[in-house]
């Protein structure tokens, strides 16, 4: 793919909006589409210096594009914008590149890959990790499934917003790798919640506890970035519990199909459900600590 190309981006949410901005700033010819006009208007107001074309449908966005990237909600949303009657695959040209950053089932990723192959379109499922901070900074990690030549065609644009691009296998493999990522995060957040409450209940200096344990085997990204905010009961940092429960549901469904038991994942998923019942579904995953009572100091 040429250094400057025509890129269409569909889905201007928390993650997608930041990615689209990086693509535009990298000098690519950017077309945008969002299903809700309000979010589209907000993105335009936040990025007044970027020259973009606004499409009125996914098919219109894909017309004449070299590459189309999606970052939407779930399987049904993705199927609609890609395979629907006004979808991307109605107009994306032969030899074009399609990349999906949505976290969805491996099943829909494989289905889209088959459709793309028949249309002679390069196709990559590339869910991401790195949180809202990573999207804003352009330091995401992409877990990519699909053919190697498809990934190489997509890489020059992907490099505008990611610091690590890993080809993990064939179509759908990016999604299953993302499921493994979410399984790890769920367990870490659950144990970190208990550790914070334990240290609080022991009336320890929380900063000193973090200093002592963060340099050893207990260290994690979650500890480094959420220890202080969990201690302060602050939970407005991007990846919402509602989204995590969607992802864990995908992982458990895939696990059942593989015959793989995920007992800890199932338990933590129910812990997240408890926080949803407390009204915390839109708070970030570290709000899991809310289900554990905080001991009051005497």
165 within a domain of the structure (yes/no): yes
| Same domain for 156 and 181 | no
Q: How do beta strands 67-70 and 97-100 pair?
A: parallel
CA distance 269 to 138: 29
Q: How crowded is residue 93: how many other Cβ atoms within 10 Å of its Cβ?
A: 13
Domain stop point among 117, 135, 170: 170
CA distance 157 to 109: 20
| Same domain for 155 and 60 | yes
| Same domain for 201 and 118 | no
| Same domain for 198 and 219 | yes
Total number of domains in the chain: 2
| Same domain for 183 and 145 | no
129 within a domain of the structure (yes/no): yes
Q: Given its phi and psi angles, is residue 27 left (phi above 0), alpha (psi -120 to 50 degrees) or beta?
A: left
CA distance 89 to 78: 12
pLDDT of residue 141: 97
CA distance 72 to 209: 40
Q: How crowded is residue 91: how many other Cβ atoms within 10 Å of its Cβ?
A: 19
With cut-offs at 50, 70 and 90, classify the pLDDT of residue 56: very high
| Same domain for 158 and 223 | no
pLDDT digits (tens, 9 = 90+) for 239-254: 899 999 999 999 999 9
| Same domain for 198 and 162 | no
Q: What 3-state class would DSSP assign to 3?
A: coil
Catalytic residue chosen out of the listed positions 25, 170, 178, 298: 178
35 within a domain of the structure (yes/no): yes
| Same domain for 180 and 157 | no
With cut-offs at 50, 70 and 90, classify the pLDDT of residue 238: confident
CA distances from 251 to 86, 102, 157, 179 (A): 30, 14, 29, 5
pLDDT of residue 297: 59
pLDDT digits (tens, 9 = 90+) for 134-189: 999 999 999 999 999 999 999 999 999 999 999 999 999 999 999 999 999 999 99
The domain of 281 spans: 176-291
**In this model, does residue 49 exceed pLDDT 90?**
no
pLDDT of residue 2: 53
pLDDT of residue 298: 54
Among this protein's residues, is 178 annotated catalytic?
Answer: yes
Q: What 3-state class would DSSP assign to 12?
A: coil
Written as six digits, the tokens of 293 are 């009572």
């Amino acid at each position: 793919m040429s250094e400057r190309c025509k890129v269409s981006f569909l889905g201007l949410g928390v993650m997608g909006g930041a990615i689209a901005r990086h693509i535009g700033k990298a000098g690519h010819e950017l077309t945008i589409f969002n299903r809700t006009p309000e979010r589209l208007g907000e993105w335009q107001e936040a990025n007044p210096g970027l020259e973009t074309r606004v499409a009125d449908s996914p098919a219109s966005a894909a017309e004449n594009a070299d590459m189309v990237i999606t970052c939407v909600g779930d399987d049904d949303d993705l199927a609609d914008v890609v395979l629907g009657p006004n979808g991307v695959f109605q107009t994306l040209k032969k030899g074009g590149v399609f990349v999906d950053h949505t976290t969805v089932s491996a099943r829909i990723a494989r289905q889209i890959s088959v459709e793309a192959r028949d249309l002679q379109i390069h196709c990559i499922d590339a869910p991401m990790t790195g949180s809202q901070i990573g999207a804003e900074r352009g330091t995401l990690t992409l877990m990519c499934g699909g053919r190697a030549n498809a990934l190489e065609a997509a890489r020059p644009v992907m490099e505008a917003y990611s610091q690590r691009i890993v080809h993990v296998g064939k179509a759908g493999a990016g999604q299953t790798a993302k499921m493994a990522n979410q399984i790890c995060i769920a367990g870490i957040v659950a144990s970190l919640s208990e550790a914070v409450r334990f240290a609080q209940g022991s009336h320890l200096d929380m900063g000193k506890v973090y200093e002592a344990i963060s340099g050893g085997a207990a260290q994690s990204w979650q500890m480094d970035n959420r220890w202080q905010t969990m201690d302060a009961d602050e939970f407005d940092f991007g990846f919402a519990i509602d989204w995590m429960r969607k992802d864990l549901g995908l992982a458990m469904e895939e696990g059942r199909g593989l015959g793989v038991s995920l007992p800890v994942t199932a338990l933590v998923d129910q812990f997240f459900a408890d926080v949803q019942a407390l009204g915390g579904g839109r708070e970030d995953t570290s709000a899991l600590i809310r289900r554990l009572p905080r001991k009051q100091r005497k």
